[in-house]
């Protein structure tokens, strides 16, 4: 015999009446499947922290059915690869499970994505870490999906490089003024600490990128990472031999950039990419010269698109 248990949530609401923008859960620990690399059929299981919400339209209702959201996540987000299309299906299921209470839904999956990346020149590779987030929302019947990722890179200051070159010129003049040194003498001097008496400052930097995509059947994080690293040209390295470090130094010298330069490179890459409906980019140069960071922010600039406010980072829409 089934035991009858009271369901308080279904009893009439006696307190203040009102609709609610979002009701749900955050900090849900969920093992999700994510596409690994360029192959849509290759997946990896990752630990995520998930948020799930619906709105509450009925002012007479005590609340939503949170267990329904959790069970749907367990059924739909852990057994198949996470894609924008899958996110859309999850949101539709959220709304259908609350058909008399809700018409809007929101879900967010935050996870650490790892990918094996090749070294610059040597025949080596190593794991690199990219914090990632996939967010989806259905509001008034309209679906939006956003992919966020953080990509580290190196930035070398153009001003510091120019000042260093000036010091090297002065050292050369002090060493050889009034002389007529031969090629071998100059070559030998350039290989000494006195020959390169100053170096420009550089620092680890981060590109934080948000892109809006259509309801696609794949989630190609590797492609997004490649677009960011190809635009900036100075990706940080995992496995490094001497030839890789030397090539890294060459790339930094060939790609001197302020934070403004880095953000414009990414702006140009995303404006010319057919994959993204909208984008938001923040570059952070963790200055080695200063105790503060240098930051630049850029958006696609479409009407109704991303806000360009500086603190638009992790807050929920």
Q: How much of the chain exceeds pLDDT 90, in percent?
A: 84
Lowest model confidence (mean pLDDT) among 53-62, 155-164, 262-271, 284-293: 53-62
pLDDT-derived band of residue 308, with 50, 70 and 90 as boundaries? confident
- pLDDT tens by residue, 51-78: 999 999 988 888 899 999 999 999 999 9
pLDDT-derived band of residue 11, with 50, 70 and 90 as boundaries? low
Check whether 201 has a pLDDT greater than 50.
yes
Q: How far apart are CA 81 and CA 97, in angstroms?
A: 22
| 265-286 average pLDDT score | 95
Q: How far apart are CA 56 and CA 103, in angstroms?
A: 8
Check whether 13 has a pLDDT greater than 70.
no
* 3-state secondary structure string across the chain: CCCCCCCHHHCCCCCCCCCEEEEEEEEEEEEEEEECCCCCCCEEEEEEEEEEEEEECCCCCCCCCHHHHHHHHHHHCCCCECCHHHHHHHHHHHHHHCCCCCCCEEEEEEEEEEEEEECCCCCCEEEEEEEEEEEEEEECCEEEEEEEEEEEEEEECHHHHHHHHHHHHHHHHHHHCCCCCCHHHHHHHHCCCCCCCCCCCEEEEEEEEEEEECCCCCCCHHHHHHHHHHHHCCECCCCCCHHHHHHHHHHHHHCCCCHHHHHHHHHHHHHCCCCCCEEEEEEEECCCCCCCCEEEEEECCCCCCCCCCCCCCCCCC
The answer to whether 119 and 214 are in contact (CB under 8 A) is: no
Please give the backbone phi and psi of residue 187, each rounded to the nearest 5 degrees, phi first: -60, -45
The answer to whether 54 and 98 are in contact (CB under 8 A) is: yes
Closest to 219 measured CA to CA, from 268, 146, 155, 269 = 146
For the chain, what is the mean pLDDT? 92
**Predicted model pTM:** 0.90
| 66-91 average pLDDT score | 96
Check whether 304 has a pLDDT greater than 80.
no
pLDDT-derived band of residue 254, with 50, 70 and 90 as boundaries? very high
pLDDT at 39: 83
pLDDT at 12: 66
| 134-159 average pLDDT score | 97
CA distances from 80 to 31, 33, 39, 109, 305 (A): 11, 6, 15, 14, 30
Check whether 244 has a pLDDT greater than 90.
yes
| 19-31 average pLDDT score | 96
pLDDT at 314: 47
Instruction: Name the token pair of 49.
Output: 């922290």
Check whether 153 has a pLDDT greater than 70.
yes
The answer to whether 132 and 112 are in contact (CB under 8 A) is: yes
CA angle 261, 233, 238 (to 5 degrees): 130
Query: β-pairing, 43-56 with 20-35?
Result: antiparallel
Per the DSSP assignment, residues forming a β-bridge with 294 are 285
| 20-43 average pLDDT score | 93
Assigned CATH for 19-157+201-299: 3.10.270.10
pLDDT-derived band of residue 16, with 50, 70 and 90 as boundaries? confident
pLDDT at 312: 56
């Amino acid at each position: 015999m089934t035991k009858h248990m009271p369901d308080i949530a279904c009893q009439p609401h006696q307190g203040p009446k009102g609709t609610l923008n979002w009701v749900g859960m955050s900090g849900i620990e969920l093992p999700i499947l994510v596409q690994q690399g360029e192959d849509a059929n290759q997946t990896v299981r990752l630990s995520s922290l998930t948020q799930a919400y619906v709105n509450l339209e009925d002012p007479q209702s005590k609340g939503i059915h949170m267990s329904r959201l959790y069970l749907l996540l367990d059924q739909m987000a852990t057994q198949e690869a996470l894609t924008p299309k899958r996110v859309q299906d999850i949101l539709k299921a959220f709304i259908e499970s609350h058909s008399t209470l809700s018409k809007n839904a929101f879900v967010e999956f935050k996870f650490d994505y790892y990918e094996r990346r090749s070294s610059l020149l040597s025949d080596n590779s190593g794991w690199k870490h990219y914090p990632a987030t996939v967010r989806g929302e259905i509001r008034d019947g309209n679906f939006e999906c956003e992919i966020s990722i953080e990509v580290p890179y190196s930035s070398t200051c153009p001003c510091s490089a120019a000042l260093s070159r000036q010091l090297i010129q002065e050292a050369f003049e002090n060493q050889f003024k009034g002389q007529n040194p031969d090629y071998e003498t100059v070559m030998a001097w350039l290989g000494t600490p006195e020959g390169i008496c100053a170096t420009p400052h550089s620092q680890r930097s981060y590109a934080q990128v948000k892109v809006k995509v259509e309801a696609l059947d794949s989630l190609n994080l590797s492609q997004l990472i490649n677009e960011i690293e190809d635009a900036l040209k100075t990706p940080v390295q995992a496995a490094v031999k001497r030839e890789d470090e030397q090539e890294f130094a060459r790339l930094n010298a060939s790609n001197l950039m302020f934070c403004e330069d880095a953000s414009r490179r990414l702006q140009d890459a995303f404006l010319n990419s057919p994959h993204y409906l909208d984008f938001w980019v923040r570059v952070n140069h963790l200055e080695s010269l200063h105790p503060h960071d240098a930051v630049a922010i850029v958006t696609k600039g479409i009407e109704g698109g991303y806000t360009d406010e500086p603190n638009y980072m992790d807050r929920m829409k």
